[in-house]
Structure 1
Amino acid sequence: MGAEIIAATATKTVYRDGDKAIKVFHADFPKAEVLNEALITARVEETGGIKVPKVLEVGVFEGEWSITFEFIEGKTLEQLMEEHPDQIPDYMEKMVDLHLSVMAKQCPLLNKLKDKMARQISDIEELGDSTRYEMQTRLDSMPKHTKLCHGDFNPTNIIVKDDGTFYVIDWVHATQGNASADVARTYLLFCLKDQKKADMYMDLFCKKTGTAKKYVQSWLPIVAAAQLSKKRPEEAELLNQWANVFEYQ
């Protein structure tokens, strides 16, 4: 086939084969989750107006489940930020505008964000019963919206082609829900690497949308608790700190 490895994680390996990208899931990865990722991506693709690598095929690659996507030639936005630090303000503004264009869409067949987060929070035993109850109560009280939420919107999931076109990849966590929850998640993902970029992102979003920063911040403990369900050791300390913050000045 001539496929070459271009990325790898604990659960999957991504190959490039000409104009195709083949995401191959390890043998113990649930089949239902593979099929669900393909379905979510196809539904987002069908909303139109967002540059998304097309799903071409779901199949088996060397005995393991795989999804074949259109390969997008370019660099991630994270790579560009590292290579051109003087352009970070411009890149960040474009990233916020891209996020807003995503959240302007609706994809009514996707799972609801609040339902997904409720399931995630209920599974985190280390938070304790009282904290989980507080989180669920707060989540229930949050406004219900139906905006398209990526669920993992960060510079590693944005590919910029040579002509400046931005593509958004990795839609497996996409849901429909409150835009500020998705922004809070992006803020936390930035915090794990660079607080300055996190604050820049939050400030730009709030300025462009007229959203009160305190409202976005009110989602942070809930989003942090939900993110803990992914059980990533390198994230645990920071997320636990946010998950136990309940008031903002």
Structure 2
Amino acid sequence: MKLENKKLIVKRSYKEVYKCDEGIVKIFEKDHPKADVFNEALNTARVEATGLDIPKIKEVSEVDGKWALLIEYKNGTTLEEMMESDKENLQKYMEDFVNLQLEVHSKKSPRLNKLKDKLASQINGLKDLDATTRYELMTRLESMPKHDKLCHGDFNPSNVIYGKNGKMTIVDWAHATQGNAGADAAMTYLLFALKDQKKADLYMKIYCKKSDTARQYVEQWLPIVAAAQLAKENELEKEFLMKWIDVVDYQ
């Protein structure tokens, strides 16, 4: 991996993302699990096989002793930026966004990990929740219908690239699983709500109409996905997420 003319575009606690001549490079910190890096590459390759037009994995290698992924570059602007800069057309952008998510949910990738197993692991690992709350969440998770639809897991406008030709491309498939589309939609709603409740409500309205899904059904997933988001240990989100985890509100 040459990394010629690299330019830093994203910095997180566990990774740095660069744009370079070869494409997009994610360089992970040395203490980031090697298995997670290879799992992201494998997830992306499996999603590629569904026929979705996504940025392809080009290389997995080491850069200065750190694991790195080289990913195909897709030119354009994030849909999040479009929604902010062109607020008059928010309705249209949100409809396009939901249509894209429904296209994802129409695909299957039987070799991906199961969303239910991932959610169960995240809930059981939450020490901020008492045993009774974890039990209630696990009981609810167990009662929800088991599906095998392709789920992105972090589907939000910052992960959608809007090309100059109007074509949209989804990036960052690190959290891809197979499971219930309602759970994936609940996570998207929650990610909107963390930043802008009005956009969250608009998303929910359009998603439920286009997918012919009852709002109450998506809401049944909210405490579960809020617990999963809490597992990421973002202190800025903790208070907000704890409010959503009160399962009594959604009985």
TM-score bin, normalised by smaller chain:
over 0.9
Aligned to 2:26: 23
The residue type equivalent to 2:215 in the other structure is K
CA contact (8 A) 1:146 1:178 kept: yes
The residue type equivalent to 1:65 in the other structure is W
The residue type equivalent to 1:22 in the other structure is V
Q: Structure 1: how far apart are the matches of 2:172 and 2:244? A: 25
Unmatched runs of 5 consecutive residues or more in structure 1: none
Aligned-partner SS, 1:47: coil
Aligned to 2:173: 171
Aligned to 1:5: 8
Q: Structure 2: how far apart are the matches of 1:109 and 1:58? A: 20
How far is 1:63 from its partner? 2.2
2:104 counterpart (83, 102, 105): 102
1:54 counterpart (53, 56, 67): 56
Residue by residue, what CA displacement relative to the aligned partner does 1:162-218 show, whole Å, maximum 9, x if unpaired?
Answer: 111111011111100000000000000000000000000011111112111101100
Aligned to 1:148: 150
Q: Structure 2: how far apart are the matches of 1:214 and 1:242? A: 14
Instruction: Please list, as runs of the form range in 1=range in 2, the aligned pairs for 1:1-249 lying within 5 A after superposition.
Output: 1-48=4-51, 50-248=52-250
The residue type equivalent to 1:44 in the other structure is V
Residue by residue, what CA displacement relative to the aligned partner does 1:121-170 show, whole Å, maximum 9, x if unpaired?
Answer: 00111110000000001100100000000000001100111111111011
CA-atom RMSD, angstroms? Answer: 1.0
- Residue correspondences, number: 248
How far is 1:5 from its partner? 1.1
The residue type equivalent to 2:19 in the other structure is R
The residue type equivalent to 2:111 in the other structure is L
Runs of 4+ in structure 1 deviating by more than 6 angstroms, as ranges, are: none
TM-score, normalization by structure 2: 0.97
Identity of aligned residues (%): 53
CA contact (8 A) 1:51 1:166 kept: no
How far is 1:19 from its partner? 4.5
CA contact (8 A) 1:60 1:66 kept: yes
The residue type equivalent to 2:210 in the other structure is K
Q: Structure 2: how far apart are the matches of 1:210 and 1:69? A: 35
Q: Structure 1: how far apart are the matches of 2:204 and 2:248? A: 19
The residue type equivalent to 2:18 in the other structure is Y
Which deviates further from its counterpart, 131-140 or 238-247?
Answer: 238-247
CA contact (8 A) 2:137 2:247 kept: no
Q: Structure 1: how far apart are the matches of 2:154 and 2:5? A: 31
CA contact (8 A) 1:113 1:175 kept: yes
Aligned-partner SS, 2:108: coil
The residue type equivalent to 1:77 in the other structure is L
Aligned-partner SS, 1:110: coil
CA contact (8 A) 1:221 1:246 kept: no
Aligned-partner SS, 2:70: strand
The residue type equivalent to 1:119 in the other structure is S
The residue type equivalent to 1:33 in the other structure is D
